[in-house]
Amino acid sequence: ATARHILVKNPDDIEKIRGELAKDSFAKVAQQFSTCPSASQGGSLGSFYPGTMVKEFDAVIFDPETKLGEVVGPVQTQFGYHFIVVDKRSGV
């Protein structure tokens, strides 16, 4: 799969991120607000296989119900809160 995400540590930032996503591109919001090193690439995580990411993240990425190109989240993991966009899915 290939996906992008925005990671925030503070749950108080969730509504702010939602508001920003309503008016700006995912990549731009990721660059401005994500605490993940992937922020500099617009949140891009590149390509990966099932089992590579933490289970909560994988569950969203590889769920056939998750529509490609749509923002999903926030999804809570041990790292914080993720807004996720699945760009491509294979290997499921």
Q: Show pLDDT as tens, one digit a residue, over the chain (92 residues).
A: 999 999 999 999 999 999 999 999 999 999 999 999 999 999 999 999 999 999 999 999 999 999 999 999 999 999 999 999 999 998 65
In contact, 56 and 75? CB cutoff 8 Å: yes
What are the strands of the beta sheet with 71-77, ordered from one edge?
44-47, 2-8, 80-88, 71-77
Topology of the domain covering 2-88: Chitinase A; domain 3 (3.10.50)
Please report the pLDDT score of residue 65 as a whole number.
96
User: Which residues 6+ apart lie within 8 Å of 11 measured at CB?
Assistant: 81
CA–CA gap between residue 56 and residue 66 (Å, rounded): 13
What is the reported pLDDT for 91? 62
Neighbours of 27 (CB within 10 A): 16
Domain range annotation of the chain: 2-88
Tell me what pLDDT residue 90 has.
Answer: 82
